[in-house]
Structure 1
Amino acid sequence: MYRYDQYDQAIVDTRVEEFRDQVQRRLSGALSEDQFKPLRLMNGLYLQLHAYMLRVAVPYGTLDSRQMRMLGHIARKYDRGYGHFTTRQNIQFNWIKLDEAPDILAELATVQMHAIQTSGNCIRNISSDQFAGAAADEVTDPRPWAELIRQWSTFHPEFSYLPRKFKIAVIASDTDRAAMRLHDIGIQLVERDGQIGARVFAGGGMGRTPMIAPEINSFVPAAEILSYLEAALRVYNRHGRRDNIYKARIKILVHDLGAAEYARQVAEEHAGLKTLGLDPPVAELERITAMFAPPAFAEDASSALDRSDPDFAVWLDQNVSAHKQPGYSIVTISLKPVGGIPGDASADQIDVMADLAERYGFDELRVTHAQNIVLPHVATRDLYAVWTALTEAGLAEANLDLISDIIACPGLDYCALANARSIPLAQKIATRFGDLGRQRELGELKLKISGCINACGHHHAGHIGVLGVDKKGTENYQLLLGGSGAEDVSLAKITGPGFDEDGVVDAIEKVTDVYLAQREGGERFLDTYRRLGMGPFKEAIYG
């Protein structure tokens, strides 16, 4: 894992003291809310429906047990005993008192954590593959590059006030576990002729106008990736709309210019930047890369697994993935218990996950964009012990990528922007499909819920997506089908008129019934939908 140097720590400590002064001035009345708002947003502090919400950065989703325990401590001391893990691989605390916010940031700084650039029109938390460094299909570990981009983008003077927020994802595999092409810029590290470089995609995103990012460069040499990113951001910063918040994202610029013209302008800009020394010295990338060296794997960590316990066997099949190191596995901890709140974990559960990472996982955890937690390096011989501890903590739901593994935003229960509640709907759907045997019969089925058009729940990327809207003062839910955030990326389409809360649950059940009746061979839901089209599903829903 990356460890702060003196510059990182000084930056974070200085920001804490600056914000402490700003909060004191707000509390004294020296700053109005309008004056204070941009200052608090720079520090990840939002004012929501009932209280302040603090969004804490977890760069590329990676943290250690000490940091995880700090999150549990904050949940226990400053919140209501839980935290909410988000689709940006971050964590949010929903019940923060303004006068305590600087103390939280100060405590975070003691474990090399912060809330910088988790809000505002800047480059947000860099996301990555939660299996990075453990997946057999990656060409290199993408996290050193994600860290390099984090350092480059933090307080970048030219990109602190972009036309709109900006999100970057870095992966290194043909399997996309990070929804890379639904980001403002997506980077896939690839190998060509023995050299590492990047395929670069620009102009993706969800929200009001969802778009899939087109490729703008098939191979940027590793030594030029940062200067190429600089060029891409400069073109956006120069031409991006600032007169209309709904048209300010880079996806609108790329769409209006056309991908070819945008790529041409970036190449032209890049040609003028390559000689300015913007790319890091080789020694700096080597320094960062050394911090992501593989852990000290045991030569023989394998063990014959006793699958006689059926619950353990199902969990192995559903939540445990192959590791590139023989004798080890990747464990995904589901934060989606049936009837629970997707992405929430109690302070006690956070502590349990920290303990398991420290004891069995080389002291490392990952937050996924699907709001779950990963232990990336677990010896096969320790899987039963890990599962037993997770079971005792209520964290052993064996539903990874099944219909109850729902992505959901906080919705109208918390968010001032939302039009409808997401959490109760997610709970109803999970309960309706609560039988694990039924879920496994349906197979891979990614369901995603957003409480408004901003799409924080990624509904456009759901095999089944739900969008909450306001219909004459009443919560209404639109049903979408056919989306994917993976390497087979696609945008879901609206089926037709919306439903009330119970109606959309019924509609989802009808959709799954059509799938079970019509699927062929080993088809997933998404495969069957793509083969049949919308027609049979729409007929079942609306008659």
Structure 2
Amino acid sequence: MSEVTVEFPGSGGGNGAGVLAAEPLALLTDIDEFRQGYGKFKSGEWDNSKWQPFRLRYGVYGQLQPGVHMIRIKFPGGIMDVDGVRAVAEANRRWAGAKLHLTTRQAIQIYYISPDDAPEVLEYLCERGITTREACGNSLRNMDSCQLAGVCPREHVDAGKVAQRLALSWIRHPLVQHMPRKFKTTVSGCETDCASTHIHDLGLIATRKDGKVGFKVFAGGGTGGIPVSAVEVADFVTEEQLPAVVEALVRLHQRYSNRKNRNKARIKFLVKRFGAEKFRALFQEEFARALELPQRPWEPLEWRQPTEAPEPISPGGVVAQHDGKACVIVNPPLGLLTSDEFEALADLAERYGADSLRVTRDQNLAITGLDPETVTEIVGVVRGLGFGVEDEPGDVANVVACPGTSTCGIGITNSQNFGKEILDQVQSYTAKPNLTVNVSGCQNGCGLHHVADFGFRGMGKKIGGKNAPHYQIYFGGDARKNGHIGLTGPIVPARLAKTALDLVLDGYATGKVNGETVREWALRLGKDGLKALVKPIEGEIDPENEGLFFDFGEDWTFSPPAGRTAECAAGFEDDDLMRDLADDGLINMDRALAADRNERALVFAREGFRYAAERLRIRVGLPGTDDDSEELVISTIRGADEDDTGVIDALDGYLETRVAAEAGGDPAPYREALALWIDTAAEMMARPVTVEAFDPTAFDKSGGVMDLIRGS
């Protein structure tokens, strides 16, 4: 067999060993592609249905406010150096119009970006090694990890490095550009599970089994309108197998998830569809297939023996690291900072020799690698900037909130303003000092209201026949315990939610027995008991009280966002998906040949051919279905493109070399013919479609297209 080099996307050359190096996180070619796409949109060549999913893959998100964008900046594991922090601060200062926002998935968002400025922002960040690629859209999103990854005494391994390596293994891969829906991954460095694996599409927990180090694998978790805890699909995999774990789940997602209803297209719906046992079996089968093929190289991780230490709490204050250094966790309320404040924290980190800065999943900022002798001084500087650092649990308010209607197009309530309103209420709560209160502006749950001690979910509900903002209260969620999704409780008007919070806090403080957790207490009370807690506010729900129809911080009467579609659920054109899957077929053929799996290589080649052929059928307005025979596909193309010698020659060349390869001949010519066929389809798709591109006499011929149209 001829020597085969696997050409992963964007890598630009082989090493002769069948697998290439991981992708760089930031590539200037991404910016070139984005500029080209934006140019096509501005010129009218692309409509919004083409432009929207394209820009989302580059982290450019629509806002509630017309004519501006939010840009989401992606940091795997939330890990940044001081130069990265300064770059984000400067980008926000130059082009944005608000405070930057630390998110619950360890990314950073900046707002009010002019569409014409977006390419400049992306280029500025990219030149400094920072990416927004696949931070939004139906892609493999930012890889999360524990907030103390790499420094926590309890960890087996640095989960942040795992997140970074997986990100580099999959960024730009054609398989993950146009998935049925987004795919979220997180990594925990030990069984404490600070990274909340049970609410992710894929969760990895570092562990030891029979003296070996590796990971447990969980899949199918999620919050949103239907919160579900993940199921275990593998009790142990080695670190080198992690890219294959991702591949197996992504391929199941592409193959089986719902492409017609994106509201039912997450991994959790596959678990529901097949049942946990069947889904686990499907994963194991796909995982075994992925293990047969080369992956990008995996540099061995450094494992350690965990040592005794208190379980990390949030925010956390000053934490002793396992290497003798210290970490200071900074609490900017609700994760909001100005550029000057963010830059000042970078200056502080540099001045005191910090190793890194981390965005945490609860919207805080961890500064790691500090000399314990300087911690008191550092804490003083941080507090001088106006940010909290805990001395004792609870003396900094632990409130998490998504933006809600401050910027989000599908937000129902202004969760961010409500979060600001309750900061003082939550602080120093003696009944549970490390209390968590999370607020989401809608059912999608970006504020993680399902996994807090007390969660608030924004919704609309009528008072006297008129729409008013409301919150539903959730009780006893836990981000670290699988199955501990918050219990649904009463619904209260948004303007009375502060009073409702006081009532439930008092109810728990005075009503818990024998050290009950919030969840145990809520389960004992039941729905009727929880509803009774807020009964005192019923007398204040008066349709004549106009204040009930205004949300916190808003000066307009409440109106629910009827008919709005979430940006992250945007569809995409079928041709974009076919292009990606054709490229994936060619990549997989190369991988199979490199592993001497010739039979699988031939299967992948047929898949790549079919997807490229579907592009040509889409081009002439004759798309088919997955059930169409290959004979029908080929006859459609011959009828539509019979006068284009380039297409017909590429088609005939592919078919001729396939016959030889499937008869046991050298697969190398077949591989080259497939590559030419895919390139020919791409070239045809780039041409404008004209009437002459389709031969009307095809309708007068029997068989193929004519029989399909006649239904014969």
**Band the TM-score falls in, shorter-chain normalisation:** 0.7 to 0.9
| Aligned partner of 1:323 among 321, 324, 332 | 321
Distance 1:211 1:245, change over 3 A: same
Q: SS state of the match for residue 189, structure 1?
A: strand
Following the alignment from structure 1 to structure 2, what is the Cα–Cα distance between the partners of residues 32 and 160?
19
Following the alignment from structure 1 to structure 2, what is the Cα–Cα distance between the partners of residues 532 and 155?
50
- Once the two structures are TM-superposed, the CA of residue 194 in structure 1 deviates from its matched residue by 2.9
Matches within 5 A, 1:127-526: 127-278=144-295, 280-281=296-297, 284-286=298-300, 289=301, 319-326=317-324, 328-336=325-333, 342-396=334-388, 398=390, 404-433=397-426, 436=427, 438-440=428-430, 442-472=432-462, 473-487=467-481, 489-496=483-490, 498-520=491-513, 524-526=517-519
Q: SS state of the match for residue 434, structure 2?
A: coil
Alignment of 1:115 with 2:105, yes or no, is: no
Distance 1:126 1:392, change over 3 A: same
Distance 1:322 1:522, change over 3 A: farther
Following the alignment from structure 2 to structure 1, what is the Cα–Cα distance between the partners of residues 31 and 457?
37
Q: SS state of the match for residue 141, structure 2?
A: coil
The match for 1:34 is 49
Q: Residues 518-543 of structure 1: CA distance to partner in whole angstroms, max 9, x if unpaired?
A: 33465554454456555544322226
Q: Residues 221-247 of structure 1: CA distance to partner in whole angstroms, max 9, x if unpaired?
A: 233222232122212221111121121
Following the alignment from structure 1 to structure 2, what is the Cα–Cα distance between the partners of residues 532 and 425?
26
Does the 8 Å CA contact 2:221/2:230 hold for their aligned counterparts?
yes
Does the 8 Å CA contact 1:88/1:369 hold for their aligned counterparts?
yes
Distance 1:7 1:236, change over 3 A: closer
Q: SS state of the match for residue 479, structure 1?
A: strand
Distance 1:126 1:73, change over 3 A: same
Following the alignment from structure 1 to structure 2, what is the Cα–Cα distance between the partners of residues 316 and 506?
25
Does the 8 Å CA contact 1:85/1:343 hold for their aligned counterparts?
yes
Range 407-416 or range 483-492, more displaced = 483-492
Does the 8 Å CA contact 1:403/1:445 hold for their aligned counterparts?
no
Following the alignment from structure 2 to structure 1, what is the Cα–Cα distance between the partners of residues 385 and 175?
46
Does the 8 Å CA contact 1:402/1:446 hold for their aligned counterparts?
no
Following the alignment from structure 1 to structure 2, what is the Cα–Cα distance between the partners of residues 321 and 488?
25
Range 180-189 or range 193-202, more displaced = 193-202
The match for 2:651 is none
Does the 8 Å CA contact 1:401/1:446 hold for their aligned counterparts?
no
Distance 1:8 1:112, change over 3 A: farther
| Aligned partner of 2:109 among 92, 98, 104 | 92
- Once the two structures are TM-superposed, the CA of residue 493 in structure 1 deviates from its matched residue by 1.8
- Once the two structures are TM-superposed, the CA of residue 33 in structure 1 deviates from its matched residue by 2.7
The match for 1:538 is 531
Q: SS state of the match for residue 534, structure 2?
A: helix
Does the 8 Å CA contact 2:22/2:169 hold for their aligned counterparts?
no
Q: Residues 380-428 of structure 1: CA distance to partner in whole angstroms, max 9, x if unpaired?
A: 2111111111112111253866783211111012111111110121112
Q: SS state of the match for residue 127, structure 1?
A: strand
The match for 2:72 is 55
Higher gyration radius (CA) = 2
Q: SS state of the match for residue 188, structure 1?
A: strand
Range 169-178 or range 424-433, more displaced = 424-433
Following the alignment from structure 1 to structure 2, what is the Cα–Cα distance between the partners of residues 316 and 60?
17
Following the alignment from structure 1 to structure 2, what is the Cα–Cα distance between the partners of residues 411 and 87?
13
Following the alignment from structure 1 to structure 2, what is the Cα–Cα distance between the partners of residues 214 and 188?
13
Task: Give the residue type in structure 2 aligned to 1:331.
Answer: V
Q: Residues 422-479 of structure 1: CA distance to partner in whole angstroms, max 9, x if unpaired?
A: 012111211444xx4x435541211111111111111111211111112243211111
- Once the two structures are TM-superposed, the CA of residue 65 in structure 1 deviates from its matched residue by 0.3
Following the alignment from structure 2 to structure 1, what is the Cα–Cα distance between the partners of residues 51 and 530?
49
Task: Give the residue type in structure 1 aligned to 2:410.
Answer: L
Range 381-390 or range 403-412, more displaced = 403-412
Following the alignment from structure 1 to structure 2, what is the Cα–Cα distance between the partners of residues 413 and 397?
27
Q: SS state of the match for residue 126, structure 1?
A: strand
Following the alignment from structure 2 to structure 1, what is the Cα–Cα distance between the partners of residues 404 and 257?
29
Q: SS state of the match for residue 512, structure 1?
A: helix
Following the alignment from structure 1 to structure 2, what is the Cα–Cα distance between the partners of residues 234 and 113?
28
- Once the two structures are TM-superposed, the CA of residue 275 in structure 1 deviates from its matched residue by 2.0
Range 135-144 or range 227-236, more displaced = 227-236
Q: Return the TM-score normalized by structure 1.
A: 0.87
Q: Return the TM-score normalized by structure 2.
A: 0.67
Following the alignment from structure 2 to structure 1, what is the Cα–Cα distance between the partners of residues 52 and 202?
27
Q: Residues 31-70 of structure 1: CA distance to partner in whole angstroms, max 9, x if unpaired?
A: 3333321221111111211121111111110000000011
The match for 1:305 is none
Does the 8 Å CA contact 1:208/1:246 hold for their aligned counterparts?
no
Distance 1:384 1:527, change over 3 A: farther
Following the alignment from structure 2 to structure 1, what is the Cα–Cα distance between the partners of residues 263 and 46?
29
Range 52-61 or range 145-154, more displaced = 145-154
Distance 1:112 1:11, change over 3 A: closer
Following the alignment from structure 2 to structure 1, what is the Cα–Cα distance between the partners of residues 189 and 517?
25
Q: CA RMSD in A?
A: 2.6
Following the alignment from structure 2 to structure 1, what is the Cα–Cα distance between the partners of residues 387 and 360?
15
Q: Residues 230-265 of structure 1: CA distance to partner in whole angstroms, max 9, x if unpaired?
A: 122212221111121121111011122111111111
Does the 8 Å CA contact 1:174/1:487 hold for their aligned counterparts?
no
The match for 1:307 is none
Range 138-147 or range 88-97, more displaced = 138-147
Task: Give the residue type in structure 2 aligned to 1:378.
Answer: L
Distance 1:374 1:318, change over 3 A: closer
Range 377-386 or range 457-466, more displaced = 377-386
Does the 8 Å CA contact 2:328/2:379 hold for their aligned counterparts?
no
Task: Give the residue type in structure 1 aligned to 2:468.
Answer: T
Q: SS state of the match for residue 285, structure 1?
A: coil
Task: Give the residue type in structure 1 aligned to 2:104.
Answer: T
Following the alignment from structure 1 to structure 2, what is the Cα–Cα distance between the partners of residues 10 and 386?
31
Distance 1:25 1:402, change over 3 A: farther
- Once the two structures are TM-superposed, the CA of residue 12 in structure 1 deviates from its matched residue by 1.5
Q: SS state of the match for residue 381, structure 1?
A: helix
Task: Give the residue type in structure 1 aligned to 2:356.
Answer: E
How many residue pairs get aligned? The number is: 503
Range 19-28 or range 57-66, more displaced = 19-28
Task: Give the residue type in structure 1 aligned to 2:484.
Answer: S
